[in-house]
Amino acid sequence: MTENNPLNALVATCHWIGEKGWCPATGGNMSLRQDRQYCLISESGKDKGLLTADDFLQVEIATNHVPSGRTPSAESGLHTLLYGLYPEVGAVLHTHSVNSTVLSRVERSQGLRLQGYEMQKSLAGQRSHLDEVVIPIFDNSQDIAALAAEIAERAHAHPLQYGFLVRGHGLTCWGKNIAEARRHLEGLEFLFQCELQRRLLEAK
């Protein structure tokens, strides 16, 4: 995968996500920062495994305005929030995998704590399985503006890293570029599967 053409790299990543089954029934949404003012976000209602470059819409980060008048994915406000909060974020991936959806409901606290897994080192800056990684969890809401405000409030108190979960909904993760966002997605999905399996075995 090359970053020489970021949009092509994002399309390829969407196809890979589709093959993984992490965005069934046209769910999920993906985006790419163009600059400080604009990003490109996948259009609503599109199969992520079949996306083309024409299925990404330019969105103004500060206002969520879409110059073309087309309809971006419903959670576009969460993407623009992340781009606005963190200038270093270059790509955002939002998926609906079974593991992230179920684990976000099983875990009752406001954060999923991961520790003891070698694959924690797939996350930027993580050096040891002994460190603790906390993935924030937010209650689901159809009011995206209200959800974005809640995420922003917690982010100001505790800066977000890697990703967050929305209960019964899925994972939103990011990186400085598409390659890092994709690595974080794959690493987190692996960790979620391990954690869910561990809890199931311990419950027996």
Please enumerate, by residue number, every residue annotated as part of a binding site for Zn(2+). Answer: 94, 96
Q: Are 148 and 78 in contact (CB under 8 A)?
A: yes
Extract the annotated binding site.
94, 96
Contacts of 82 (CB under 8 A, 6+ apart): 89, 92, 160, 172, 174
C-alpha span between 158 and 152 (Å, rounded): 10
CA 185, 74, 102, 134: dihedral to nearest 10 degrees? 50
- Report the run of H or E that residue 28 belongs to, with start and end: none
Question: DSSP state, 24?
Answer: G
C-alpha span between 135 and 120 (Å, rounded): 12
